[in-house]
Amino acid sequence: MIRYLAAQTDLEKIKDNYYSCILFTIISGSIISLIVFLLSDNLALFVFQDQLIAIYLRLAAFLILFVALYQISSLYFRIFQLVKIYAMLTITQALGHLFLVFALLMLGFGLLGVIIATLVIYAVMFFISVILAIHRIGIKIPEFSEMRDILKYGLPLTPNPMIDWLRTSSDRYIIAILIGISAVGIYSSAYTIASIILMLVSPLQIILFPALSKIYDEGNLSQIKNYLAYSIKYFLLIAIPSAFGISVLATPLLLGFTTPDYISGAILIPFIAFGGVFFGVYQISINVTQLVKKTKFNLYLYIIAAVSSILLNVTLIPILGLIGAGFSAFISFGVMVCLSLFLSFRYIKFPIDIAFLGKSIISSLLMVGIIFLINPMQLFEVIISIFAGIIVYSISILLLRGLRTEEIALFKSLILNIIGWT
């Protein structure tokens, strides 16, 4: 829906596409929810080997519908860069969910309460999103005028979350089989800390793709190239030192958030953290295939990444143990970014500032040196190290002229736009 509405100025077409997508989601989501509801007994026995799970599956079946509806209905505010409203919806959903889950757990509802809370909050947020959208664009009976094109564009993207789940979860199953359950806990704790890098690109993506779609449909190719180049540069500006920082602070971070039993996972964090840097670049560059409506390539890339991850894990874990799992994650992320850049450059060849990449790495190494000198082990020392590292990195990147004055101003404007202060 983002790709088809971002550059649209005709209010009637905006309304038709928006309400067509919502009605289609209601129909398809209801069918899928009904299937899960009717098959809940079989799923409980086949997947969980516990008939008592069926009651939870029946209730959770309707989550499929309302989660999808909220995601579709709230996209309107992201598409037209109404960042403050989109942020408020996101925060309200998160806090409301947390409050309801806590309240129902305290009342003794257990897992049933968690599912009820999730269902209620997504249903409420869906209705709020639609009411806010109606207030802005009015209401219209959908005609599905562009629904065929939207489905042709979106269907190849549909399996990607499931394939990505397979890629990110298969390593844990393989570790459990080949090494043992305790090793899964060590790997998961390291992955959780390192995956902070994976989240750095998400705020940027919220505003980037709608903006790119609008500019592309307006035919401004040079501006598209600038947006992509600067997006990667600004992401790397934060992601590279973050990956170095998390890697050097791996041991004290694991000590702070886990127990000494998980310290051996520290060696895995650099592989996953720098793999996260690759994934962020992938997320930005793959926007190109979505702009030119070649979404089948997104599906192919996810399949290749998942298959390569499984094959590497099966091959390397028996030889290298947990390090093999970390190396597999790093390589699968690397495969994704290399292929995405190759495909993206076939349609839009945008510049990547290699000189900046070198300056960022140098500045990050200086930051690492300062952290080594501090040698943090306690939480307070870790916090001091982080602030000291930020100061050293910032001074170094400026002295090395990694950013020009106009780029600093543009970066500040981007941050303010992301948090909704513009």
Which pTM value belongs to this model? 0.82
Residue 8 pLDDT class (50, 70, 90 cuts): confident
pLDDT confidence of residue 142: 83
Whether 57 and 78 share a structural domain:
yes
Whether 163 and 149 share a structural domain:
no
pLDDT confidence of residue 411: 63
Residue 147 pLDDT class (50, 70, 90 cuts): confident
Residue 209 pLDDT class (50, 70, 90 cuts): confident
Which of 194-198, 215-219, 288-292 has the highest average model confidence (pLDDT)?
A: 288-292
Whether 256 and 375 share a structural domain:
yes
Decide if pLDDT at 422 tops 60: no
User: Stretch 376-402: mean pLDDT, rounded?
Assistant: 90
pLDDT confidence of residue 256: 81
pLDDT confidence of residue 417: 55
Decide if pLDDT at 329 tops 60: yes
Whether 134 and 217 share a structural domain:
no
pLDDT confidence of residue 194: 87
Whether 98 and 39 share a structural domain:
yes
Whether 243 and 266 share a structural domain:
yes
Domain region containing 354? 159-418
The encoded tokens of residue 398 equal 């400026």
- The identity of residue 163, as a single letter, is I
Considering only residues 10 and 228, tell me which one the structure prediction assigns the higher pLDDT.
228
pLDDT confidence of residue 341: 93
Tell me: the pLDDT tens digits for 53-92?
A: 888 888 888 888 999 899 889 888 888 878 788 888 889 9
**How many residues comprise the chain?**
422
Whether 411 and 306 share a structural domain:
yes
Residue 255 pLDDT class (50, 70, 90 cuts): confident
Residue of 24, 56, 63, 27 whose CA lies nearest to 41: 56
H-type helices in 321-378, by residue range?
Answer: 322-347, 354-374
Tell which phi-psi region holds residue 142, choosing left (phi > 0), alpha (psi between -120 and 50) or beta: beta
Counting Cβ atoms within 10 Å, is residue 273 exposed (0-12), middle (13-18) or buried (19+)? buried
* Cα(246)–Cα(22) distance, integer angstroms: 41
Which residues have a Cβ under 8 Å from the Cβ of 200 and sit 6 or more positions away? 235, 238, 239, 242, 276, 280
Whether 71 and 170 share a structural domain:
no
Mean per-residue pLDDT over the chain, rounded:
86
H helix count then E strand count, the chain: 20, 0
Whether 129 and 193 share a structural domain:
no
Decide if pLDDT at 418 tops 60: no
The encoded tokens of residue 278 equal 């690759």
* Cα(26)–Cα(284) distance, integer angstroms: 30
pLDDT confidence of residue 392: 94
| Domain end residue (candidates: 153, 188, 205) | 153
User: Stretch 257-266: mean pLDDT, rounded?
Assistant: 84
Residue 369 pLDDT class (50, 70, 90 cuts): very high
User: Stretch 200-219: mean pLDDT, rounded?
Assistant: 83
Residue of 392, 371, 361 whose CA lies nearest to 253: 371
pLDDT confidence of residue 241: 95
Decide if pLDDT at 391 tops 70: yes
Decide if pLDDT at 140 tops 90: no
H-type helices in 138-220, by residue range?
Answer: 147-154, 160-178, 181-194, 196-199, 202-217
Whether 322 and 408 share a structural domain:
yes
Tell me: the pLDDT tens digits for 77-133?
A: 888 878 788 888 889 998 998 999 899 888 888 888 888 899 999 999 999 999 999
User: Do the Cβ atoms of 59 and 115 come closer than 8 Å?
Assistant: yes
pLDDT confidence of residue 123: 93
pLDDT confidence of residue 127: 93
Whether 135 and 169 share a structural domain:
no
Tell me: the pLDDT tens digits for 158-194?
A: 888 888 888 877 888 889 888 888 888 888 888 888 8
- The identity of residue 288, as a single letter, is V
| Domain end residue (candidates: 153, 180, 195) | 153
- Count of structural domains within the chain: 2
pLDDT confidence of residue 414: 58
Residue linked to tokens 């209010």: 11
pLDDT confidence of residue 396: 93
Whether 328 and 368 share a structural domain:
yes
| Inter-CA distances, 346 with 216, 223, 293, 311, Å | 16, 17, 13, 28
| Domain end residue (candidates: 85, 118, 153) | 153
pLDDT confidence of residue 195: 84
User: Stretch 42-53: mean pLDDT, rounded?
Assistant: 76
